[in-house]
Structure 1
Amino acid sequence: MDRENLSVKNSHQVPWKERIAYSMSDFGCNTVFQVLGTYFLVFCTDTLGIAVAATTGLFLITAIIDSIDGVFWGQFIDRTHTKWGKSRPYWLWFTIPFVIFCIMSFSAPKFIMGSELTKVIWIYIGYIGAKILYSAINIPVTSILPSLTSNPQERVALSTIRQFFGNFGSAIFLPLTLPAVAFFGSVWGESNKGTKSAAGWSTWAIILGVITIIAMFTAFFGTHERVVTKDSQRSVPMKESIKAVKGNYPWFIIIFINFVYWGGFAIRSSALPYYFKYNLGQEGLGSLTLLGTTLQLVTTAMVPFFVKKIGKRNTMMIGMIGTVVSQLLLFMSEKLNGNVPIILIAISMFYLSQGLIGALIAVMLSDAVDFGEWKNGIRAEGFVTSFSSFSAKLGMGIGSMILSTVLTMGHYIESTGNNIHQSSTALNAISLGFIWIPFVLYVISAIALWFNDVDKFEDKMTSDLEEKHTRELGN
């Protein structure tokens, strides 16, 4: 390696204390938002008793909003100049409002329980507010990465540690959710309602919200934006920001994958509680399988090793293929009358594969930021990375809408009672949402990933940009 590349590889090193602080950003986001993504639909139908068809409109509206708000947040970031930097302030400004709307999404105050309309209005306000403000705190998690270091390997390490703690949050709180709801429901005198306890859901949401605030504030106070460029010192106009994605095919690929993959993930996650409760008749096993999120920690920790050996794209491709195979194993278990060992193998394979995927999406977006500057001369971290949240949220919103539509077409019966049996068409609809729709979307994601070849020219791109930044700041 020549001296120029050596300087790049050793520049902008981030100390471990700051690495942990940065990882708290994903931990904080995942703490309550993953629970919202997995259980919100179940809360609406089985706790509030809202017709599943009513939620279809909610997911459609949020999908439309998600197609707009991410771009605006990205522009706000590119135009932000504070003593804390461009991205960090958003964790300070918007974390508490985000938490308030998340708590609202899992609350059922008495004044809304009188009619279907008031319940629907309440959840619409809470869910839409939570989704908009999630962009406000989550886009900076990605947009700040290129500003923390210009070292490609350091970015992989930072993203891996961040994803590790994000998965750790999911691994802790997703499996605990239903038992915690039942427990806090009994504390508030709703032991007869079990996991349908409105008081239990509200209490659990408040606890998760407090944890989220602590984590996001830790990220704010513990990180530092150290990569300074000419563009980072000025407000980049929208017209110039758009130039950063002109011909930027790595960006188009990862944004498309973000949309398709997370859409499938949202459908699968939301369908999981229904599948284990009604198709398998083992609601407790559904919560138990969420412990499989701990397996993500294993493969996430191994991402830097795999990337060093086979590159980012090939590492992520292994994860993509694993998710596809896991869905086929779920189908096999269904043909064997819900064979539990095969289900557990499939769930384990899914989470192991997920660990390889999640850690690298942010890194590939940082590559797209660099590629846009390398190719077009414009560096717009906020604009380029904002589409990550936009595409993921749009995919998840449309995915949730698809699931609610499929359940409606399958004549799913909403009930706040504990003894309810679904029709065969409803069970088939749940199976379609849990197994087959995600399977198709994972296959499409893997095909798209194949065309991302940044690994081939990354060293030259990084070296050229390092020279460019040094020259610009020296003038």
Structure 2
Amino acid sequence: MKVTGTMQNNISTEPLDDAITNKERLSYGASDFACNVANGMVGTYLMYYYTDVFGLAAGAIGTLFFIARIVDAVSGPTWGIMIDRTHTRWGKSRPYFLWFSIPYAIMFILTFSSVPLGPLGKLIWAYVTYIAIDILYLGINIPITSMLPSLTADPQERVKFSTVRQVLATTGATLISIAVLPTVQLLGQGNDRKGFFVTAIVVAVLTVFLLLLTFKNTHERVHSQKQEKLSLKESISALKGNWPWMIISLMYFFFWIGMQTKLQVTVYFFKYNMHNADLASFMLGLQALSLIVIVFTPFLTKHFGKKGTMVIGLGLCVLSQLILGIGAQMMNVPILAGATILGYFGNGFFAGLLPVMLADTVDYGEWKNGVRAEGLVTSFSGIASNLGMGMGGVVTGFLLSMNGYVANHAQTAQALKAIEMNFVWVPFIGFGIGLILMYFYKFDKMQPKIEADLKKRHELAE
């Protein structure tokens, strides 16, 4: 990693003939397809794997997820600062796909390896592998968002990049949610431990291939005129008074608390509450319908703005949980399916816009504080999502443990209620807090002035 130069505020762009192609947009999107395939398997199925396959207690897993979040609080900003201090011929963010895709894949396989150990040994193995994969995941996921402000300075082009990214990310998440359990059964031939292990190998190989494809075909155009080495103090100064960043980070955190609790108990809910585990893959697969709204995100933002479109998305998520609660009480599959579809529509708006809004916070930090710190500023998307996902895991683990959940047994009424709480009402609260936070988001009105001021600064600096 080559790091040179001193702090500069001058930003320039590559010549206009360095055209952005569909190949580059698709290659950028391939990175999040890879991350959603891999992390989708971890986020949706790891808790089920730990409790019902590997044989760990739900409460112990909740503690593990909580400790991992403490590690995230340190490792996330560290990755962001490393990106801000990285300068290579490939750029600041791109090289991380080359450097860390293979280490991540190896640890991913080990996470789903059912080693023949005793109870304590299994718990230690889970701690080591899960925390390691969590750290390495941030090393390949944060660069996806930190690279967006460097791919182009054009706001609408950023929306296009983000739209392609989210279409492919949703496709990856949908495929893995549908395919994991059938693939485990097929490859394991009745042995779930073997099935999860072989499935993890397939996913790991695909992840490495796609991340290397992203590295090969993308190009960072917006950069400092001189290579800059941001100190920790200088990077942090980009966050000073950056209220759009604060709002987006908090919204992302609470959204993922809700989404993670819902995702990771989907299998439990349909296996134990509805007595039909096969419905879990079907319901998770419905997220493919969110592609319908993602592809229309650029059009909607032109008419409603980013804030208005995000409010619509979060409002649909909140409404879907209320209807889901009715379906859960009635044990009515059509109502559950309809509510799930509505929720995925809302999630499509959220997913399509969030990276763009984070890129805007990079511009705001430069406009307000004179520091362009893509790495640290955007790293909080990975930090907030990981913290939210982890806290969702903590909530799920402790609610299940406190209410008497026992793996692979008929559950008590109290345990079934805890599963329903995780599936319906914890997400309702998380999405609702995110919706309230959007009331305070005022960036859209300021963006024209910010763009004009930054353009003027850059022209004067040339």
TMscore range, shorter length: over 0.9
Correspondent of 1:369 among 362, 369, 374: 362
Q: Tell me if 1:401 matches 2:407.
A: no
Write out per-residue CA displacement over residues 277-302 of structure 1, whole angstroms, 9 at most, x where no aligned residue.
10111100111111112112111111
| Residue aligned with 1:457, SS | helix
Query: Which residue identity is paired with 1:247?
Result: G
Change (3 A) 1:452 1:90: same
Provide the residue aligned with 1:4 in structure 2: none
1:332 positional shift: 0.7
Q: Tell me if 1:278 matches 2:281.
A: no
Q: Tell me if 1:452 matches 2:441.
A: yes
1:463 positional shift: 2.1
Verify the 8 A CA contact 2:255 2:434 in the aligned structure 1.
yes
Verify the 8 A CA contact 1:13 1:149 in the aligned structure 2.
no
Q: Distance in 1 between matches of 2:386 and 2:329?
A: 33
Query: Which residue identity is paired with 2:459?
Result: T
Change (3 A) 1:314 1:335: same
Q: Distance in 2 between matches of 1:412 and 1:355?
A: 33
Q: TM-score, normalised by structure 1?
A: 0.92
Correspondent of 1:104 among 98, 110, 117: 110
Identity of aligned residues (%): 42
Aligned length: 449
Provide the residue aligned with 2:319 in structure 1: 325
Provide the residue aligned with 1:3 in structure 2: none
Query: Which residue identity is paired with 1:132?
Result: I
Verify the 8 A CA contact 2:150 2:221 in the aligned structure 1.
yes
Write out per-residue CA displacement over residues 71-116 of structure 1, whole angstroms, 9 at most, x where no aligned residue.
0000100000111110001000001111111111111133x2xx11
Q: Tell me if 1:152 matches 2:164.
A: no
Q: Distance in 2 between matches of 1:130 and 1:369?
A: 27
In the alignment, structure 2 segments of 5+ residues that lack a partner are 1-12
Verify the 8 A CA contact 1:319 1:353 in the aligned structure 2.
yes
1:414 positional shift: 2.3
Write out per-residue CA displacement over residues 414-461 of structure 1, whole angstroms, 9 at most, x where no aligned residue.
24xxxx200011001101111001101110000101211211121221
1:13 positional shift: 5.4
Q: Distance in 1 between matches of 2:296 and 2:162?
A: 12
Write out per-residue CA displacement over residues 231-290 of structure 1, whole angstroms, 9 at most, x where no aligned residue.
x72011111112111111100000101111111111111111111110111100111111
Pairs within 5 Å for 1:347-358: 347-358=340-351
Provide the residue aligned with 2:46 in structure 1: 40
Q: Distance in 1 between matches of 2:257 and 2:110?
A: 24
Write out per-residue CA displacement over residues 119-159 of structure 1, whole angstroms, 9 at most, x where no aligned residue.
11112111111110010000000000000000111111101
In the alignment, structure 1 segments of 5+ residues that lack a partner are 1-6
Q: TM-score, normalised by structure 2?
A: 0.95
Query: Which residue identity is paired with 1:152?
Result: P
Verify the 8 A CA contact 1:12 1:149 in the aligned structure 2.
no
Provide the residue aligned with 1:169 in structure 2: 172
Pairs within 5 Å for 1:197-208: 197-208=192-203
Pairs within 5 Å for 1:76-87: 76-87=82-93
Verify the 8 A CA contact 1:106 1:202 in the aligned structure 2.
yes
Correspondent of 1:390 among 368, 380, 383: 383
Query: Which residue identity is paired with 2:144?
Result: V
Q: Distance in 2 between matches of 1:468 and 1:263?
A: 40
Query: Which residue identity is paired with 1:271?
Result: V
Q: Distance in 2 between matches of 1:357 and 1:78?
A: 27
| Residue aligned with 1:74, SS | helix
Verify the 8 A CA contact 1:11 1:151 in the aligned structure 2.
no
Q: Distance in 2 between matches of 1:244 and 1:170?
A: 33
1:179 positional shift: 0.6
Provide the residue aligned with 2:374 in structure 1: 381
Correspondent of 1:65 among 68, 71, 74: 71
Provide the residue aligned with 1:243 in structure 2: 237
Query: Which residue identity is paired with 2:35?
Result: C
Query: Which residue identity is paired with 1:428?
Result: K
Q: Distance in 1 between matches of 2:353 and 2:17?
A: 21
| Residue aligned with 2:224, SS | coil
Provide the residue aligned with 1:223 in structure 2: 218
Provide the residue aligned with 1:315 in structure 2: 309
Query: Which residue identity is paired with 2:334?
Result: P
Q: Distance in 2 between matches of 1:56 and 1:385?
A: 27
Verify the 8 A CA contact 1:149 1:226 in the aligned structure 2.
yes
Q: Distance in 1 between matches of 2:323 and 2:270?
A: 15
Q: Tell me if 1:93 matches 2:93.
A: no
Q: Distance in 1 between matches of 2:318 and 2:141?
A: 27
Write out per-residue CA displacement over residues 16-59 of structure 1, whole angstroms, 9 at most, x where no aligned residue.
11111111110111111111100000001100111112112211
Higher alpha-carbon deviation: 204-213 or 236-245: 236-245
Verify the 8 A CA contact 2:365 2:372 in the aligned structure 1.
yes
Q: Tell me if 1:141 matches 2:144.
A: yes
Provide the residue aligned with 2:290 in structure 1: 296
Q: Distance in 2 between matches of 1:362 and 1:467?
A: 25
Verify the 8 A CA contact 2:73 2:383 in the aligned structure 1.
yes
Q: Distance in 2 between matches of 1:142 and 1:334?
A: 36
Query: Which residue identity is paired with 2:448?
Result: D
| Residue aligned with 2:55, SS | coil
Correspondent of 1:411 among 387, 392, 404: 404
Query: Which residue identity is paired with 1:98?
Result: Y
Verify the 8 A CA contact 2:366 2:372 in the aligned structure 1.
yes
Provide the residue aligned with 2:4 in structure 1: none
1:392 positional shift: 1.1
Verify the 8 A CA contact 1:259 1:391 in the aligned structure 2.
yes
| Residue aligned with 2:223, SS | coil
Q: Distance in 2 between matches of 1:212 and 1:471?
A: 43
Q: Distance in 1 between matches of 2:131 and 2:299?
A: 39
Q: Tell me if 1:213 matches 2:219.
A: no
Query: Which residue identity is paired with 1:161?
Result: V
Q: Tell me if 1:305 matches 2:299.
A: yes
Verify the 8 A CA contact 1:229 1:469 in the aligned structure 2.
no
